Structure 1
């Protein structure tokens, strides 16, 4: 899931704001990502009954808090899935036009988004086993392409794309605005809850399941940090500010832009393959979390009126799919910018991924053992993300 935003959205923001801003945001964000995801996973793993996020909060704080925080978690997942819905809709249309299959952008037609989203939701809703069969080979391919593209783009580097060092005020402002993009570049917190549930299903011993989940997180984080940074830096040296501005105005990703402007046919083919695989696997991954969050909210409401065993799970799954297609299609039709969406949605991630786990550590006696300096740093990161959108007014 994480090899999505880091390679398709981050290079555009780096091109708009410059390399110096990116370097500062990395120094702040990357240590926080590791700490906040580990803390988030530990708070989930300590729950006696392992289920969706809303159920875990219910165990810790009661049903009223579960509805409130479960809804906030749902909004975070919804923002993420909207992110990739925009990408899959507009990039697919851009590729068809780039290669002469269509004369006009198919995304200008109202039905295009509905068709594309219906297909990807239909695949994503088939369950974890099918997603692993579909996404597994894609993940291996796209990780390899990320590293290869980062290397073969070196001959296209132009150090004239590195801007002069900005003034302090501009540096601080643009760093705050870039924090959400750097955060999302290797963030996979949305999939940690489903991953935790999956490990608890196959391991009867809670400690072993927690150990395996934390180990998986550590390995994934290291691989992502190295490969995505190589890719992002290579792109920032290759694409100019004007080209990044064009991508921003057209609401397309860095890889769709590369297919249009880079002369090397190998890079074009690889960037298209990478974009398709990255967006699809990210969409599939986050759909698991989105589906889990929405089902958790609905169950929490229904059990107040009917017994839990009376809930029709099949009908619930169908409702979630139809709701996802309808609401995503309607919002994608507004042509909202994914750059703007990332910036205004940063407080949600700050609250869910940073502040709530810190709050749980200090609120729940069973989690007091996780107190420490890392919790304060995660809390600091959450506050910065909550403040991030307000710096848009100073642009």
Structure 2
């Protein structure tokens, strides 16, 4: 009888939807939709129409099952408020746990540097080219922008969720608006399979990492799970899955509509040229269609997307840094947090001022680690952790394991070729 009541209660919690749930769904969505979305149509579409269709079909299961697996991994801890660093040490021992936690931090932190540089460049370019202003001091501009982003995070969870809600809604509407605006420019795609099976397979293989990172909100999953623990107690597992599922649907719907709309507005030759030029799809479309509408919205989308992703990644880096240092020292957690925030502010500010032109090495390091943590580690943990044994032999477990191996393999191949 008690089991039936518990199941009924879990079903009720899962089906009910609150403002808290909406706020976290928008936060996960905002963390995922970073500046990379502006390159996604080119990176996926240049492989041909059928490669795009197949990757679109795979994107949903990859996004939901992978993040659900990571959430289950964090929730598998016996500690009620365990973060990612606590969980890996609990399950894999102190030595390997701290190594994984260190790699996790080092995979997120370079992305923060990239976003700091990107945010400064976007605002600087907008002030000079769109507003006709003189170029501002890069030291002052970058310092103000980075300080503003970090100040939002220091204001607390409620403020952060409120800001996410304020910036993600415009981002969603703008993405949908541009997708609809481009519909008159659509052309009939080439339905013939003009690639060999080998070429198509190679194209799909190399596109997997692009999909992994375009739809990833890995850095914020641990904080998200703990927020559900505080809000829903022992029903955190059920509610987390519900929010993750709706986030995945929202991501797939809006992002893939944008991707297909952009790809159908350009020819395969134009997509290849955009890839060679290494410009965002909106920059290329603005030049091709001579559209002031897209030229104005391009910087706005870039600013909102980078800001939302910066906030999510800062949350993950901050939590990871605190967990790592707390296990090495006897300092109070509040002191560690202050030290971490100051060090990250200085580092991101310095990178934004220096404006490094070569960021590929950072992305190359972050890529494999995030793929392993998001896809491989939670699935391997299913066969290592007793509390996760109910997921052994599931189709989703094998699917994410295979996709994780393919993603890591493709990233390594791109690095050494």
TM category, shorter: 0.7 to 0.9
The residue aligned with 1:211 is 238
Are residue 186 (structure 1) and residue 215 (structure 2) matched?
A: yes
Cα deviation, residue 364, structure 1: 1.6
Residues 72, 348 of structure 1: 8 Å contact kept: yes
CA distance in 2, matches of 1:383, 1:12: 24
| Cα distance in structure 1, aligned partners of 2:38 and 2:166 | 19
1:56 and 2:56 matched: no
- Native 8 Å contact 1:2 1:185 kept in 2: yes
Question: Which of 119, 138, 141 is the aligned partner of 1:88?
Answer: 119
What is aligned with 2:368? 347
| Offset of residue 383 of structure 1 | 0.7
Deviation of 1:70 after TM superposition, in Å, equals: 0.6
Q: Do the aligned partners of 2:164 and 2:308 also contact (CA within 8 Å) in 1?
A: yes
* Distance in 1 separating the partners of 2:364 and 2:197: 21
- Relative to structure 1, is the Cα distance of residues 275 and 316 closer, same or farther in structure 2, using a 3 angstrom cutoff? same
SS of 2:78's equivalent? coil
TM-score by length of structure 1 reads: 0.83
* Residue in 2 that maps onto 1:336: 359
State how far apart, in whole Å, the 1-side matches of 2:183 and 2:383 are.
48
1:215-254 → structure 2 map (5 Å cutoff): 215-240=242-267, 252-254=279-281
What is residue 386 of structure 1 aligned with on the other side?
408
Following TM superposition, by how much is the alpha carbon of 1:228 offset from its aligned partner in structure 2, in angstroms?
1.0
- Residue-by-residue CA offset, 1:58-99 (whole Å, 9 max, x unaligned): 222332222111112213322443453343244334434542
Contact kept, 8 Å, 1:180 with 1:385, in 2: the verdict is yes
Residue 284 (structure 1) aligned with residue 308 (structure 2) = no
Deviation, 1:258, is 4.2
Other-structure match for 2:12: none
* Structure 1 residue 360: Cα displacement: 1.5
2:21 is matched with none
Residues 78 and 393 of structure 1: CA distance in aligned 2, closer, same or farther (over 3 Å): closer
User: Do the aligned partners of residues 393 and 186 (structure 1) sit closer, same or farther apart at CA in structure 2, a change above 3 Å counting?
Assistant: closer
* Alignment partner, residue 14 of structure 1: 44
Find out whether 1:375 has 2:404 as its counterpart.
no
Q: CA distance change for structure 1 residues 260 and 288 in 2, over 3 Å: closer, same or farther?
A: farther
1:1-395 correspondence to structure 2 within 5 Å: 1-5=31-35, 7-49=37-79, 50-99=81-130, 101=132, 116-159=145-188, 165-203=194-232, 205-206=233-234, 208-240=235-267, 252-302=279-329, 306=330, 309=332, 312-325=335-348, 328-329=351-352, 332-337=355-360, 345-373=366-394, 374-392=396-414
2:209·2:407 contact (CA, 8 Å) conserved in 1?
yes
Residues 346 and 385, structure 1, Cα contact 8 Å, conserved in 2: no
* CA shift in 2, pair 1:83/1:56, >3 Å: same
3-state secondary structure, aligned to 2:98: helix
Distance in structure 1 (CA, Å) of the matches to 2:196 and 2:214: 25
What is the deviation of 1:217?
0.5
The structural deviation recorded for 1:349 is 2.2
Aligned counterparts of 1:122 and 1:246: Cα–Cα separation in 2: 40
Count of residues paired in the alignment:
385
Cα shift at 1:26: 3.1
Residues 343 and 72 (structure 1), Cα distance of their counterparts in 2 relative to 1, 3 Å cut = closer
Query: Does the aligned pair in 1 maintain the 2:209–2:411 contact within 8 Å?
Result: no
TM-score w.r.t. length of structure 2: 0.80
8 Å CA contact 2:89, 2:96 repeated in 1: yes
Task: Report how far residue 129 of structure 1 moved.
Answer: 2.5
Per-residue deviation at 1:229? 0.8
Distance 1:310 1:70, change over 3 A: closer
Pairwise CA RMSD of aligned residues?
3.3
Residues 1:322 and 1:100: Cα distance change in structure 2 (over 3 Å): closer
The answer for unaligned runs of 5 or more in structure 2 is 1-30
**Could you report, residue by residue, the CA deviation over 1:107-158 in whole angstroms, capped at 9, with x for unpaired residues?**
9x78865664444344444432222222212111211222222112111224
